[in-house]
Amino acid sequence: MPPSLSHPRIQVNRSATEEVKGRKNERRPGKRLGSYSQQDSSRRYIMVKKTSGKWCMCTYYTDLNKAYHKDPYPLPNIDRLVDGASGFALLSFIDAYLGYNQIKMHP
């Protein structure tokens, strides 16, 4: 996350600290996949107490639009694609999952 961005101030529930440690160990039993600093990430874990008395771990996303780069190749507008295809006698549809990309090469 860029240093110019800061996380919003959230009041931390101190009684949920042990619950957070237990939940993190549940997610990665026996293995430590890696550590990260919450200050460097754009997400934060928050413990929310349910009506049943149990704790629920939620992910709190902050300023994702500011923290990540914009996509230089956004998805095309479907209306423009359909309008551009109208009026032609033959239409070819490409299946991106099962389709083939064939480019003629010089022998």
Listed by start position, the domains of the chain span: 14-67
Determine the pLDDT at residue 40: 44
pLDDT at position 31: 47
Q: In the block, which residue shows the tokens 């994702």?
A: 64
Backbone angles phi, psi at 21, to 5 degrees: -60, -40
Evaluate the CA torsion angle 31, 33, 35, 41 in order and state its sign: negative
Per-residue pLDDT, 32:
45
Tokens read off for 92: 């070819």
Which residues of the chain, if any, have pLDDT below 70?
Answer: 1-44, 60, 62-65, 91-105, 107
pLDDT value of position 35? 44
The model carries a pTM of 0.28
pLDDT at position 46: 74
At residue 93, the pLDDT reads 66
pLDDT of residue 44: 67
